């Protein structure tokens, strides 16, 4: 019953944001996100704690500015997400443009599969969606939302142009099948994990339990690992879907050590983007929740 009530409460906002003109939808969604920032004390506390650990050199005032800007980024993305049914191959460039698409195309042409390395950054929901509108279908690894009604809506939006969902509980089988078929899989690799699914690597100089599946699959299949991030560009007033060159995998013959090394290298890529655009990363997630044995909690 509670889930139905949550869905009923959220549905009017989703519908309103979906029918408003895009600029007005953004204004409305950003206003909602700023209200969440003001009234959701726990999220603010988590965000400020993360920023304190990641940027000890910054002042509290600057950390607050970054956190407020993050909520603006989330509101902007919410507006775009609600407008997904209105986007077509003809108008998607008004929202998202490509940058260095050739890096992705060269990796895809190898026909060994592409692992699309990304994070909860910028307009991450737009990445695979915009890519599919240009004919590049993506398999999306995702954990179902707690609310099954909102989860169903989100899945229908994500897959309306040919993308497919890979359930997180069938992660390995889904990835191996996709790589064998030469397909692309998008993986958000910046959430807290627990062993044995995760290994500890440094993120902002702090050990963070990080999903090792991407490295395992890449080493097993020789799939290309291509970083891709959807960055909000204030001067353009739209997003840039940027693809970096495929990462070179480290292979020493020690599989477990190589998994850790490559996971660390993938995490360094994510950290680099977060450092460059700190206002666009999901600071309200407890990224360092899982601790190495014997360490005290950080939250």
Is residue 74's pLDDT more than 60?
Answer: yes
Asked if the model's pLDDT at residue 12 lies above 80, the reply is no
Cα Rg, the chain, nearest whole Å: 19
What tokens were used for 227? 């970083």
pLDDT tens-place string over residues 255-288: 999 999 999 999 999 999 999 999 999 999 999 9
Tell me how far apart the alpha carbons of residues 200 and 222 are, in angstroms, rounded to a whole number: 23
Q: Does the pLDDT at position 152 exceed 90?
A: no
Confidence band, pLDDT 50/70/90 cuts, at residue 118: very high
Between residues 28 and 149, the one the model is more confident about: 28
Per-residue confidence (pLDDT) for residue 11, from 0 to 100:
63
pLDDT at residue 5 is higher than 70: no
Q: Where are the alpha helices (DSSP H) in the chain?
A: 2-19, 22-39, 41-54, 60-82, 101-108, 124-133, 148-158, 171-180, 213-221, 255-276
List the single range of 137-141, 147-151, 262-266 with lowest mean pLDDT. 147-151
Q: Which of 6-10, 39-43, 145-149, 199-203 has the lowest mean pLDDT?
A: 6-10
Whether residue 260 contacts residue 267, with contact meaning beta carbons closer than 8 Å, is answered with: no
Model confidence at 1, pLDDT cuts 50, 70, 90, reads: very low
Within 8 A by CB and 6+ apart from 77, the residues are: 122, 123, 124, 125, 126
Lowest mean pLDDT among 5-14, 102-111, 153-162: 5-14
Judge contact between 70 and 283, C-beta under 8 A. Answer: yes
Torsion of CA 78, 80, 85, 87, to 10 degrees: -170
SS3 content of the chain, % helix, strand, coil (to 5): 50, 20, 30
Cα separation, 30 vs 35, in Å, equals 9
From residue 152, alpha-carbon distances to 7, 62, 85, 146, 157 in Å are 11, 38, 15, 11, 9
CA-wise closest residue to 200 among 208, 191, 211, 192: 208
Cβ-based burial of 283 (10 A; exposed 0-12, middle 13-18, buried ≥19): buried
In this predicted structure, the answer to whether residue 13 has a pLDDT above a threshold of 50 is: yes
* 239: nearest Cα among 108, 103, 114, 79: 79
Question: How many angstroms separate the CA atoms of 2 and 114, rounded?
Answer: 40
Mean pLDDT of 112-130: 97
Kindly report, residue by residue over 81-100, the tens digit of the pLDDT: 999 999 999 999 999 999 99
Residues 219, 112: Cα–Cα separation, whole Å? 12
Residue carrying the six token digits 């997904």 = 84
pLDDT at 230 over 50: yes
Tell me which residue has tokens 């005290």: 296
The residue extents of the domains of the chain are 2-280
Q: What is the per-residue pLDDT for 145?
A: 72
Only one residue has tokens 């030469």, namely 182
Residue 30 has pLDDT above 60, yes or no: yes
pLDDT at 6 over 70: no
Selection from 119, 223, 225 nearest residue 177 by Cα? 223
């Amino acid at each position: 019953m509670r889930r139905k009530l949550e869905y009923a409460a959220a549905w009017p906002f989703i519908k309103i944001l979906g029918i408003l003109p895009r600029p007005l939808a953004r204004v409305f969604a950003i206003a909602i996100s700023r209200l969440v920032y003001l009234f959701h004390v726990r999220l603010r506390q988590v965000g400020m704690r993360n920023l304190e650990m990641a940027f000890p050199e910054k002042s509290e005032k600057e950390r607050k500015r970054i956190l407020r800007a993050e909520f603006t980024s989330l509101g902007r993305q919410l507006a775009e997400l609600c407008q997904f049914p209105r986007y077509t191959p003809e108008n998607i460039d008004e929202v998202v443009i490509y940058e260095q698409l050739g890096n992705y195309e060269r990796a895809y042409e190898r026909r060994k599969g592409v692992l699309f390395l990304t994070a909860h950054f910028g307009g991450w929901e737009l990445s695979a969606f915009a890519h599919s509108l240009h004919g590049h279908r993506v398999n999306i690894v995702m954990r179902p939302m707690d609310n099954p009604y909102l989860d169903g809506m989100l899945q229908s939006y994500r897959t309306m142009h040919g993308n497919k969902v890979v359930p997180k509980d069938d992660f390995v089988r889904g990835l191996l099948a996709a790589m064998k078929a030469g397909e692309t899989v998008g993986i958000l690799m910046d959430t807290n994990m627990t062993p044995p699914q995760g290994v500890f690597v440094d993120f902002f100089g702090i050990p963070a339990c990080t999903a090792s599946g991407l490295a395992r699959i890449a080493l097993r299949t020789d799939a290309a690992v291509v970083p891709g991030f959807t960055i909000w560009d204030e001067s353009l007033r739209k997003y840039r879907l940027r693809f970096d060159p495929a990462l070179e995998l480290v292979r020493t013959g020690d599989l477990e050590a190589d998994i850790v090394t490559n996971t660390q290298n993938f995490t360094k890529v994510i950290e680099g983007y977060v450092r460059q655009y700190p206002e666009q990363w999901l600071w309200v997630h407890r990224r360092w929740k899982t601790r190495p044995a014997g360490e005290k909690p950080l939250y």
